[in-house]
């Protein structure tokens, strides 16, 4: 019996070992299949997917490319209208400034020939405007006086009617107390009438003063208007003789201003405004400034003759030019 049991145990152990060997073989076969087989099939779909993924965005890139090509010309065309400004040399600027100064000086001479007529005409016009407003105020005041006088007259009529009423009531009184009260009312209304008459006299006197002032202002106004007409005719006769020349000079002055840069033009106008004779650009005469007649140092004279920079007088602030610039202007 013991031997049979030992045999059965041994058979069971052998069968178990055989099963384990078979299972291990199957497992190794499966692992080798999983390692070998997935590489080919899994790589193929991945390659297909990547190929599809690469193939899909290509049309989008092709569609965006023409848009970039269309925008490129607009970017290139923008700088085309920009043109570098022509640089003007210092010598040309000095010639333009001296020419502008000479033209403006001629305009000043023409305007000085007219004298103070424009200023006188302006003063007369201002005085006429002031007189007209003054007369208008006087008339408004006179209207107010007339209204006050009419109001006081109406009040006097009302008080007279009350006085007559109280006098009629005095004839029908019953006792002395009523009579005394009516008498006081009559006296009060009479005093009110006297006050109104006094106010009317005062307002009438004021109105008469206003009327005299209006008459004087009217006389002065007529005199000023006649004088204004005479001065305007005189100015018109002067302007007609120099109008064409002045227009030509103004046009030439505007052309010269275009050749001068803004910074220099502003400085020129400021110096010209502060100068008594209106000279902002002057020449050198006998080694001295033509505006203030102060001596110019030799180094400054050399810098002025080279025409490399704009030199200003250290005493009066005027722009200095040499004989060469003046010769170019005269030529």
- Give residue 41's pLDDT: 42
- C-beta neighbour count of 284 within 10 angstroms: 21
The stretch 157-185 carries a mean pLDDT of 88
- Give residue 203's pLDDT: 92
- Give residue 330's pLDDT: 82
What mean pLDDT is reported for the chain? 77
- Give residue 224's pLDDT: 92
Kindly state the DSSP code that residue 280 receives in the 8-state scheme. S
Say if residues 155 and 195 touch (Cβ distance below 8 Å): no
Distance, in Å, from the CA atom of 311 to the CA atom of 320, rounded to the nearest integer, reads: 6
- Give residue 285's pLDDT: 86
In DSSP terms, 312 is beta-bridged to 319
CA-nearest of 302, 250, 251, 313 to 280 is 313
The stretch 252-268 carries a mean pLDDT of 85
Q: Is the pTM above the cut of 0.75?
A: no
Q: Which residue has the higher pLDDT, 96 or 6?
A: 96
Work out the burial of residue 104: count CB atoms within 10 Å of its CB; fewer than 13 is exposed, 13-18 middle, 19 or more buried.
buried
Q: 67 vs 29, 54, 63, 78, 105, CA distance in Å?
A: 59, 21, 7, 18, 63
- Give residue 133's pLDDT: 93
- Give residue 233's pLDDT: 86
Say if residues 101 and 320 touch (Cβ distance below 8 Å): no
The stretch 264-273 carries a mean pLDDT of 88
Which tens digit of pLDDT belongs to each residue from 27-40? 655 554 444 444 44
Distance, in Å, from the CA atom of 206 to the CA atom of 141, rounded to the nearest integer, reads: 10
Classify the C-alpha dihedral 236-237-238-239 as positive or negative.
positive
Please, which pLDDT band fits residue 87 given cuts at 50, 70 and 90?
A: low
Please, which pLDDT band fits residue 16 given cuts at 50, 70 and 90?
A: low
pLDDT at 84 over 50: no
Look-up of token digits 């209208």: 81
Three-state secondary structure of 228-247:
HHHHHHHHHHHHHHHHHHHH
- Give residue 328's pLDDT: 85
Which tens digit of pLDDT belongs to each residue from 123-161? 999 999 999 999 999 999 999 999 999 999 999 999 999
- Give residue 37's pLDDT: 45
Say if residues 167 and 186 touch (Cβ distance below 8 Å): yes
Which tens digit of pLDDT belongs to each residue from 181-218? 888 998 999 999 999 999 999 999 999 999 999 999 99
Lowest mean pLDDT among 20-24, 167-171, 296-300: 20-24
Strands 288-289 and 319-321: what pairing?
unpaired
Which tens digit of pLDDT belongs to each residue from 227-246? 999 888 888 887 777 777 88
Tokens standing for 39?
Answer: 């590489």
- Give residue 89's pLDDT: 81
The percent of residues above 90 in pLDDT, for the chain, comes to 24
Distance, in Å, from the CA atom of 328 to the CA atom of 35, rounded to the nearest integer, reads: 101
């Amino acid at each position: 019996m013991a031997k049979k049991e030992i045999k059965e145990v041994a058979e069971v152990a052998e069968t178990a070992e055989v099963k384990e060997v078979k299972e291990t073989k199957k497992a190794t076969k499966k692992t080798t299949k999983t390692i070998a087989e997935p590489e080919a099939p899994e790589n193929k779909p991945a390659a297909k997917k990547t190929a599809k993924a690469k193939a899909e965005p290509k049309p989008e890139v092709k569609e965006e490319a023409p848009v970039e090509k269309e925008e490129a010309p607009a970017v290139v065309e923008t700088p085309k209208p920009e043109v570098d400004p022509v640089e003007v040399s210092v010598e040309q600027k000095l010639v333009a400034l001296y020419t502008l100064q000479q033209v403006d000086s001629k305009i000043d001479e023409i305007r000085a020939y007219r004298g103070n007529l424009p200023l006188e005409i302006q003063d007369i016009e201002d005085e006429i405007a002031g007189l007209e407003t003054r007369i208008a105020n006087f008339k408004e005041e006179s209207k107010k006086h007339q209204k006050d006088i009419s109001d006081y007259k109406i009040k006097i009529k009302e008080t007279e009617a009350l006085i007559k009423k109280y006098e009629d009531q005095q004839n029908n009184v019953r006792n002395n107390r009523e009579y005394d009260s009516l008498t006081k009312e009559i006296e009060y209304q009479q005093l009110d009438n006297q006050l109104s008459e006094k106010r009317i006299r005062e307002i009438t006197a004021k109105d008469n003063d206003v009327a005299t002032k209006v008459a004087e202002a009217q006389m002065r106004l007529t005199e000023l208007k006649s004088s204004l007409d005479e001065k305007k005719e005189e100015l018109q006769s002067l302007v007609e003789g120099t109008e064409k020349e002045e227009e030509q000079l103004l046009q030439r002055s505007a052309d010269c201003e275009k050749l001068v840069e803004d910074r220099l033009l502003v400085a020129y106008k400021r110096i010209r405004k502060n100068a008594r004779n209106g000279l902002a650009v002057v020449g050198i005469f006998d080694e001295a400034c033509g505006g203030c007649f102060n001596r110019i140092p030799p180094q400054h004279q050399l810098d002025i003759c080279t025409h490399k920079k704009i030199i200003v007088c250290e005493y009066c602030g005027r722009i200095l030019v040499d004989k060469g610039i003046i010769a170019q202007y005269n030529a």
